[in-house]
Amino acid sequence: MPKANKPGAAVDGDTLEAISIVQRGNLKTLEATLRKQWRMGQNIVMCWSSDERGVLVIFVPHYFLGNYCASEGSRTAQGRDNEAFIRGLISGTRRRSREELFAISERLNVSPTFIKLKTALTEDRQVLAAVEQLIRRYGLSYVESRAVLLFDIVEFSLYTPFEQASQLNSLSYSLNSAYNKLLAQGVEINFARTTTGDGYYVWNRDLGPDANRDLFYFMLLVVADNAVARAASRGNTVPVVRTGYHIGGHYELYQAEGINPSVFSYIVGDVTIDLARMVDKAQAHQIMIGDFTCEQPRREGDGDVPPSTVATPAYVSGCNRELSLLRGVQLSGKNIEAIGCRLTENPDKNAIPGPRRFRIVDKHGLVRHTYNLQIVMDLAGHNLALGLDDNAALAQPGEDEQRTGVPPKAPAASTEELIDDLASMLKKRSTKTITED
């Protein structure tokens, strides 16, 4: 994994080396002022703009965004418009022109804060990137589409504290091992993780279709490494896991650690809530893939063909076609000779052909859909099957009226769900059932 910044550091060492001494002084002054105005998380930064004498920044109290989006009622057109405006404001680059910043200030009814610097910021790429990094650490970000993994240790609470520590350490090692194996194949996963207490959320810090696909490969190697380690272990030192992969939107924030924001980010939103609900209903060893639409990664030879948007089945098929990348990777001293993955097919020959899709009804009565992933790996002549096979009693068959259409979009997460998602990291709940849609 890339080196983390030291607490209080503005940017990483490589970036600093490319910035002049004068601009480093500007960044130091900027961070000191941001930290002072941030007040241990009381305020957050929305956006910024360059000024000939310094920087203009819009600060709002941490509770402001919730009140602003709910001021007209979250279910009204005005409330939804406010939320869309805020999401657009905290997505991507935070820099705005002077005119845009004052227009935003007027709409939010807050005054910009002026931060005086010794000299004006240059338009140098490294300097602007460093400012953006600072703004994100002292603010809140929104990502529209990102792949996220959830690894959950089965029956974690039933083990002794020593066994729990051993299992978390084993799973953490599998993550690091998968990273190193992919790096040897020329694929670098800039991955981040946060603990759920009995597992980890994992995501790629990089964004885009290729980053999402690389995280899919990463998941396959983590699950395989865990299975091989478990087969060679004794006692309860290596966990039995259930896994979820989903693509969706989320918020990203940095919590306070003492007087500084942490150097590691946390994510919460639709994608993490969906994953928690999916995996909560999963069985041991199961690998669940969410029901999503996303941009398909481009392949060699695509040329000027515009990128296509695909649903889960086509996305998994596309990833499967590229799995030759993992051939030759070693697991427990044995090479992967071949590897393939697929979604479980509908066993009913009279039904519409296609993957078997499942319906999950959570404790709020909301419906989500998911698929079951199966992996087959030739490990030096030995077949290794991962996930649940066709004969596993996944669910009772149901009806799917849109099997070949665009999957219905789940409603956006409510404030109650966001809070509940954070609370679920401390206490797991298991209710209701999973049935095939």
Structure token pair of residue 219: 């998941």
Asked if residues 174 and 167 have their Cβ atoms less than 8 Å apart, the reply is no
Same domain, 158 and 127: no
Same domain, 125 and 150: no
Any domain includes 297: yes
Supply the angle between the helices 21-38 and 125-137 in degrees, to the nearest 10. Answer: 10
pLDDT per residue as tens digits for the range 37-59: 988 888 999 999 999 889 999 99
Last residue in a domain, options 138, 156, 188: 138
Same domain, 30 and 69: yes
Any domain includes 2: no
Domain count, the chain: 2
Quick one: pLDDT at residue 116? 93
Confidence bin at 72 (pLDDT 50/70/90): low
Same domain, 123 and 169: no
Same domain, 311 and 339: yes
35 has a pLDDT exceeding 50:
yes
Same domain, 155 and 134: no
Mean predicted confidence (pLDDT) in 86-105: 93
Percent of the chain with pLDDT over 90: 54
Any residues with CB less than 8 A from the CB of 305 and at least 6 apart, and which?
none
Last residue in a domain, options 138, 157, 175: 138
- Listed in sequence order, the DSSP H helices in 261-306 are 270-280
Handedness of CA 200, 207, 223, 315 (dihedral sign): positive
Any domain includes 5: no
Confidence bin at 254 (pLDDT 50/70/90): confident
pTM for this one? 0.81
Quick one: pLDDT at residue 400? 47
pLDDT per residue as tens digits for the range 131-163: 998 998 898 899 999 999 999 999 999 999 999
Same domain, 99 and 202: no
Confidence bin at 285 (pLDDT 50/70/90): very high
401 has a pLDDT exceeding 80:
no
Confidence bin at 265 (pLDDT 50/70/90): confident
Any domain includes 1: no
Asked if residues 145 and 210 have their Cβ atoms less than 8 Å apart, the reply is no
Mean predicted confidence (pLDDT) in 334-340: 92
Handedness of CA 98, 102, 104, 105 (dihedral sign): positive
Any domain includes 8: no
Same domain, 279 and 338: yes
Any domain includes 4: no
Same domain, 109 and 147: no
- The phi, psi pair for 57, rounded to 5°, reads -135, 140
Quick one: pLDDT at residue 346? 76
Confidence bin at 428 (pLDDT 50/70/90): very low
Same domain, 147 and 178: yes
403 has a pLDDT exceeding 60:
no
Domain with 356 in it: 143-436
Any domain includes 3: no
Nearest one of 289, 181, 189, 278 to 228, comparing CA atoms:
181
Mean predicted confidence (pLDDT) in 371-376: 94
Query: What b/e sequence results for 227-256 when a residue is b if at least 16 CB atoms lie within 10 Å of its CB, and e otherwise?
Result: bbbbeeeeebbbbbbbbbbbbbbbbbbbee
Any domain includes 402: yes
Distance CA 183, CA 294 (A): 25
Confidence bin at 257 (pLDDT 50/70/90): low
CATH of the domain at 337: 3.30.70.1230
The one-letter amino acid at 419: I
Quick one: pLDDT at residue 306? 74
- The phi, psi pair for 371, rounded to 5°, reads -125, 160
pLDDT per residue as tens digits for the range 353-364: 788 899 988 888
Same domain, 159 and 283: yes
Last residue in a domain, options 102, 118, 138: 138
pLDDT per residue as tens digits for the range 195-204: 999 999 999 9
Same domain, 164 and 106: no
